[in-house]
Amino acid sequence: MSAIPSSHGVPPCFSSARQYRAWKSMTVRVRPGPSEFCEDCTPEFQRLRIAQFRCLHPGTTFHRGADGFLDGIRPGCRLPTREKNDKKERQ
């Protein structure tokens, strides 16, 4: 069974439109990568939302970044540390 579709542009993993707007307002200062809101997810929250059919990207995996923070990376998106390493290799 697939996830509940987004309602008015609000991903189903968010509890409310207000919560999603709060997250979006923070992206002005801290720009998420291509994994968008999944980048701020956690494995525990992902499991909960998958069980509730409220996860749009259940294939998201979690990796500790160079900064020590856990990042959710959607399938097909590159790990931030790999992007940094790729730039160093090209120089």
* Domain spans of the chain, in order of start: 17-90
pLDDT of residue 85: 40
Of 82, 79, 78, 83, nearest to 70 by C-alpha is 79
Given a cut of 50, whether residue 84 has pLDDT beyond it is no
- pTM, rounded to two decimals: 0.76
Sign, CA torsion 47/51/54/57:
positive
Are 6 and 12 in contact by the 8 Å Cβ rule? The answer is yes
